[in-house]
Amino acid sequence: MPKAIRSSLMAGKPKLYYFNGRGRMESVRWLLAAAGIEFVEEFLETREQYEKLLQDGALLFQQVPMVEIDGMKMVQTRAILGYIAAKHNLYGKNLKERALIDMYVEGTRDLMDLIRVHHKFSPEEQEKNLALINERATARYFPVYEKVLKDHGTEFLVGNQLTWADVQLIEAILMVEEKVSTILSKFPLLQDFKTRICNIPTIKKFLQPGSQRKPPPDESYVVTANRVFNRK
């Protein structure tokens, strides 16, 4: 790569390659937004766009999401998020805090994965999945975060400042609330957490209409993904 182009990549805003929808890129958008980092996006809409990325060697494992950042073409969502969190002081102050953040992030990811696939199901399957989301949120995951907040005794899940764990938890809470609006009714500390985190200026901005936050997936999103990946 010519030096001038490489320097431009390193100096520029992160560039996100994905569909115009949530999927696995949405957590990356959330984390960048929480850190106050502006980013640009290239939405994949055609098979040709995807094939060009493959031909250029931009997709290490032939998958998106892909993020151009600091001269790298990063793939694998967990690696992308970890890099952003570490770079922007959202990954704790020591190894122990990082371990806690990793545990909490993985818990919320398990819950979010149930929601990510919801739109792919038939109406009957969606009804069953909705019951599963409700059960897992109220009986497995949210009680843990409620207890963490109580035991830790600060405004955040880890340490005394915002971390990746907080950002991903608020993303998960809002995703679940789209499916079950009363999901936090038995979790007063999580209700307070939601209010606090949503009022952090960078996050409040991301939650405003017209931001780069994406709506829940619809049929158009599915059609586009199928076209790009050549699915039947």
- What whole-number distance in Å separates Cα of residue 212 and Cα of residue 39? 9
Q: Which of 4-18, 104-118, 167-181 has the lowest mean pLDDT?
A: 4-18
Instruction: Assign 232 a pLDDT band (cuts: 50, 70, 90).
Output: low
Backbone angles phi, psi at 73, to 5 degrees: -110, 95
Residue owning tokens 């967990």: 78
Determine the average pLDDT of the residues in 53-66.
91
Give the model's confidence band at 118: pLDDT under 50 very low, under 70 low, under 90 confident, else very high: confident
Q: What is the rounded CA–CA span in Å between residue 59 and residue 54? A: 6
E strands along 48-188, which residues?
Answer: 66-69, 72-75
Rounded to an integer, what distance in angstroms lies between the CA atom of residue 25 and that of residue 39?
A: 12
Place of tokens 């952090």: 200
pLDDT at 146 over 50: yes
If one compares 144 and 6, the residue with the highest pLDDT of the two is 144
Task: List the domains of the chain with CATH numbers.
Answer: 3-88+208-229 (3.40.30.10), 95-199 (1.20.1050.10)
Average pLDDT (77-104) is 97
Q: Residue 6 pLDDT more than 60?
A: no
Q: Positive or negative CA dihedral for 212, 216, 220, 226? A: positive
Residue pair 119/178 in contact (Cβ under 8 Å)? The answer is no
